[in-house]
Amino acid sequence: MVQNLTILGSTGSIGVSTLDVIRQHPRRYQVVALCAHSQLDRLFDQCLEFRPRYAVVKNAVLASELRMRLQAAECPTSVESGPDALVRMAGLPEVDTVMAAIVGAAGLPPTLAAAVAGKKILLANKEALVMAGPVFMRAVREYGATLLPIDSEHNAIFQSLPQDYAGDLCKSGVQNLLLTASGGPFRNTPLEALENVSPEQACAHPNWVMGRKISVDSATMMNKGLEMIEAHWLFNVPAEKIQVVVHPQSVVHSLVQYVDGSVIAELGNPDMRTPIAHALAYPERIPSGVDPLDLFKVASLHFERPDFDRFPCLQLAYRALKEGNSSPATLNAANEIAVQAFFDGRIGFTAISRVIALVMDRAPATKLVSLTDVLAADAEARRIAESVIEQANNR
């Protein structure tokens, strides 16, 4: 039976990897909609190859250009634009599966729409759970959506938990979840040198090929903090039962520790096609195109505790989860503004965590009942973050 897909974020690294897996299994998967931001050349090529029924871009200007190029190439794909179109693509009746890979808060509305439509959701968008955990998980339960994690760490935990795990640690004999982290490019950099690192240095991840924003999040370990919050909602596990473990080789993608002393882990080469293929075919297994792990080449594995002085963003994420309500949404919004300010040269690398901490101190923690509440908390945190950065630059 052919599986029909909408890919939210088709021109990003996850979207490209997803299409590579699909390319290897043309009889199993049909792309119905490709949704991107502004990378027209890549989206144009994707449309020519996969012939989706729909393509979505950021705005009407880009849509007009893409439409003309596709018509000239005699490609029948219909082109739409804007946030509302993303929401429509996520809920199309003919779509079975939605790859949710739009980075940032922009990915929340269409991912939530996929949940409300009862789709099989391959979740690569952290913000759906970080910003709107209670709202999103309630929609998944209420509308019967299937949620499969794509982040390598959460996918590893999903594979390492009992098959019948239903969110009860005690009943399943689970002691702790262990989230691995590479430590990023600055794991051994002298602390005094971090203030002067450039965006290019922060984006130079030692193991993974990722987008710019997520690469900086990895360098600050905010990425791991967001994943910790995500794990809380995915697996119904409190913060104190989620331990971050620095593992520079990125071979062990995460582990589950059981009460009997057993530790079950998922290992593999650092390639996102592995968890994508796992989720696409679940509960079956299909080739992903990733080379088998050569244990003789790996030779040894190294683990260490995270240094909270070096990675204060990780500690802020634990704080946000423990505070609850809108605090994780505030954390995420402040981080997005601070990282963009770092890219723009408005703040230094180490100021990212300082901005986030100040925003969390100033933003009220409000209860999240609906998407409106989530977006209001997000907007307020962004306003405060911009104010904090402006004040710092005017001193």
Q: Which domain holds residue 264?
A: 151-271+295-307
* pLDDT of 207 above 70: no
Place of tokens 């594995």: 301
Q: Are residues 303 and 158 in the same domain?
A: yes
Looking at the chain, list the stretches that DSSP marks H as alpha helix, in order from N- to C-terminal side: 13-23, 40-50, 60-72, 83-90, 108-116, 127-143, 152-160, 169-172, 199-202, 212-220, 222-235, 273-281, 295-298, 312-323, 327-343, 351-362, 371-393
Three-state secondary-structure class, residue 254 = strand
Q: Are residues 332 and 381 in the same domain?
A: yes
Residue 314 lies in a domain: no
Residue 45 lies in a domain: yes
Residue 210 lies in a domain: yes
pLDDT of residue 203: 87
pLDDT bracket for residue 208 (50, 70, 90): low
Residues 6 or more apart in contact with residue 220 via CB below 8 angstroms: 184, 311, 313, 349, 352, 353
Residue 344 lies in a domain: yes
Q: Are residues 15 and 131 in the same domain?
A: yes
> Rounded to an integer, what distance in angstroms lies between the CA atom of residue 32 and that of residue 96?
10
Q: Quick one: residue 381, left, alpha or beta (phi over 0 = left, psi -120 to 50 = alpha)?
A: alpha
pLDDT of residue 209: 61
pLDDT tens readout for residues 46-66: 999 999 999 999 999 999 999
> Rounded to an integer, what distance in angstroms lies between the CA atom of residue 359 and that of residue 340?
15
Separation in Å, CA 182 to CA 90, 123, 185, 337: 32, 21, 9, 24
* pLDDT of 6 above 80: yes
Q: Are residues 173 and 256 in the same domain?
A: yes
pTM for the full predicted model: 0.92
Instruction: Pick the closest to residue 335 from 378, 367, 392 (CA basis).
Output: 378
* pLDDT of 303 above 70: yes
* Span 324-333, average pLDDT: 96
Residue 259 lies in a domain: yes
Rg (CA), the chain: 21
A 10 A CB-CB count for 146 gives 15
* Span 154-182, average pLDDT: 95
Q: What is the CATH number of the domain that holds 37?
A: 3.40.50.720
pLDDT bracket for residue 224 (50, 70, 90): very high
> Rounded to an integer, what distance in angstroms lies between the CA atom of residue 228 and that of residue 222?
10
Q: Are residues 23 and 129 in the same domain?
A: yes
Domain finish residue from 280, 307, 334: 307
Q: Are residues 144 and 164 in the same domain?
A: no
Task: Give yes or no for a contact between 135 and 371, defined as CB atoms under 8 angstroms apart.
Answer: yes
* pLDDT of 369 above 70: yes
Q: Which residues of 224-241 are buried (b: 16+ CB within 10 A; e: fewer)?
A: bbbbbbbbbbbbebebeb
Q: Are residues 52 and 75 in the same domain?
A: yes
Residue 289 lies in a domain: no
Q: What is the CATH number of the domain that holds 344?
A: 1.10.1740.10
Q: Are residues 377 and 243 in the same domain?
A: no
**Secondary structure (DSSP) of 172-219:** HTEEEEEEEE--GGGTTS-GGGGGG--HHHHT--SS----HHHHHHHH
Q: Please, what is the average pLDDT of the chain?
A: 94
Q: Are residues 207 and 253 in the same domain?
A: yes
A 10 A CB-CB count for 295 gives 10
Quick one: which H or E segment has residue 266? strand 263-267
Domains: count for the chain:
3
Q: Which residues of 55-89 are buried (b: 16+ CB within 10 A; e: fewer)?
A: bbbbeeebbeebbebbeeeebebebbbeeebbbbb
Q: Are residues 166 and 301 in the same domain?
A: yes
* pLDDT of 215 above 90: no
Separation in Å, CA 40 to CA 17, 61, 138: 18, 11, 35
pLDDT of residue 126: 84
Residue 283 lies in a domain: no
Q: Are residues 115 and 57 in the same domain?
A: yes
Domain finish residue from 117, 149, 181: 149
Q: Are residues 25 and 141 in the same domain?
A: yes
pLDDT tens readout for residues 265-293: 999 999 999 999 999 999 999 999 999 99
Residue 190 lies in a domain: yes
In percent, how much of the chain has pLDDT > 70? 98
